[in-house]
Amino acid sequence: MDSVDLEVVRSALKWSESGHRATLGTVVHTWGSAPRPVGAMLVIRDDGQVMGSVSGGCVEDDLIDKVKSQALAASKPEVTTYGVTQEQATRYGLPCGGTLQIVLEPVGKESKLEDLLSVIERHELAARFLDMETGKVRMEPGKWSDLLEFDGKVLKTVHGPRWRLLLIGAAQVSRYLAQMAQALDYHVTVCDPRGEYADGWDLVEVPLNRGYPDDVVVQMNLDAHSAVVAVTHDPKLDDAALLEALKSPAFYVGALGSKKNNDARRIRLADFDLAASEIERLRGPVGLKIGSKTPPEIAVAILAEMTAVRRGVQIPETVEPPKVNVSAGCEVPQN
């Protein structure tokens, strides 16, 4: 669940508790070029106020009108579909004839949103099951492999951080990476056995593991929803983590450092039980080449590359901007 959807749940609970009629909407199926992914959420208040989005603005106005007039989901959950015909796609602004199906549910005590919010705020995963006939909800602990499922009778949604990020090193870059990554739906763990760094880690919402990096990687049982970034600049720590991470199904494994240092790292890794194809998975220097210098800029570059890999976007090598001298008001590129 990303930070926007978390605000949807908070708003739905707040509005319902204050006496407003609130209706929660969740995208359950998409066809074609749908503007928002499965699982996207919004909540509509009885006066038309809205939080979140299911279509990037294409169908929200129509949804708001129907919810306000109680033409949809007035007393129990209901399914609505947009974009079935080309005329509808054009009318609602859905791109390329895209279609989306949305489950709308009136919010009440049986929605168990307070319980759901408590689980999310503990950075845990929850599977929520909505009975379409009765509107009743049950919740179970979620698993990293859980996905949204809808068979017309029961809607299963998964809430909480769906992706994991392990940071090796409790340095300054890790602080910015951790905070930014949480807004991108990651459960973040920091690993650093060095007391001089670990003792100063004070982000209470990001757990710190003082174990040795390779042991921590193995213990976390990384899957295809996991990423590992090593930032200590200490080969004993970074290489230990990378040796295990590169053998795992983790979708992203990167290491901070210059090209020279990472080339040397690849040579060291080749001395161990890693295949050439596994070593090729290492992203180092880590992050997109956007001229990053400061810790927050470096964090942006890393998370941008992680996002591209996560979404399956192929990004060509980004060329670093040329250095310039400013003289007499002119910028002169240097070779």
pLDDT confidence of 95, banded at 50, 70, 90? Answer: low
Considering the domain boundaries, does residue 141 fall inside one? yes
Residue 332 lies in a domain: no
Picking from 159, 179, 203, the residue at the C-terminal end of a domain is 159
What does pLDDT average to over the chain?
A: 87
Q: Which residues have C-beta within 8 Å of that of residue 326, sequence separation ≥ 6?
A: none
The reply to whether 227 falls in a domain is yes
pLDDT of residue 331 exceeding 50? no
Q: What is the pLDDT of residue 273?
A: 85
Segment 193-219 shows an average pLDDT of 95
Euclidean distance between CA atoms 246 and 231, whole angstroms: 16
- Residue 314 pLDDT exceeds 60: yes
Using one digit for the tens of pLDDT, what is the confidence trace for 156-172?
999 876 789 999 999 99
Place of tokens 């250095």: 323
**Dihedral of the CA atoms 200, 205, 210, 211 (nearest 10)?**
-160
> Number of structural domains, the chain?
2
Task: Look at residue 203 in the predicted model and tell me its pLDDT.
Answer: 92
Residue 4: what pLDDT? 64
CA distances from 22 to 42, 139, 333 (A): 10, 20, 58
The arithmetic mean of pLDDT across residues 195-201, rounded, is 94
Confidence band, pLDDT 50/70/90 cuts, at residue 254: very high
Q: Classify residue 287 by its DSSP letter.
A: S
Q: Which of 159, 183, 201 is the last residue of a domain?
A: 159
| Structural domain for 119, as ranges | 3-159
56 and 139 belong to one structural domain? yes
Tally the residues of the chain: 335
